[in-house]
Amino acid sequence: MTELFLSVSLLLLVTMTAGLIRVVIGPTSADRMMAAQLLGTSGIGALLLLAPALGLPALVDVALIFALLAAVAVAAFTRRRVGVNRLETETR
C-alpha cells in the first residue's frame, strides 16, 4: 500500500502544479483565490497520504494547520472591499 499512497500523492502534486496555471491566467482575483484554495486542499490530501507512507504521523498535524490557514485566508480575502478604498481616494 505504500507504493499506492506515494503514487497518489505524486498525482496530487501534479494536479497542484496544473492548478497553478489558473493562478497565473485567472481573470479575476476570485479565480486566483479559488485556485489557491484547491492547492491547499490538494496539499492536505498529499500530506494525509504521506503520513502512513513515510511513517510520520506528525504530518497529519501539518495538514490540520493547512486547513486552518486556508479557511482564514478565504475569509480574509472576501472581506476586502474596493468601495472602502474608493472612499479613501475620494476624500483624500
Partner 1 sequence: MDALTDFVIPQVAWHAISAILVLAGGFFFVAGTVGLLRLPDLFSRLHALTKADNLGLGLIMLGLLPFVPDVFYGAKLVLLWLLVMVSGATGAHLIAKRAVRGDGEDPQ
Would you tell me which residues interact with partner 1 (CB under 8 A)?
1, 4-5, 8, 11-12, 15-16, 18-19, 21-22, 28-31, 33-35, 37-38, 41-42, 44-45, 48-49, 52, 57, 60, 63-64, 67-68, 70-71, 74-75, 78, 80-83, 85-86
Nine cell digits for residue 75: 475569509
Q: How far apart are CA 89 and CA 85, in angstroms?
A: 6
Question: Which DSSP symbol is given to 55?
Answer: T
Closer to partner 1 by Cβ: residue 83 or 92: 83
CB of 12 to partner 1, least distance (A): 6
Q: Which residue has the cell 494525509?
A: 48
H-state helical runs in the chain: 2-25, 29-54, 59-78, 82-91
Nearest to partner 1 of 28, 91 (CB atom) = 28
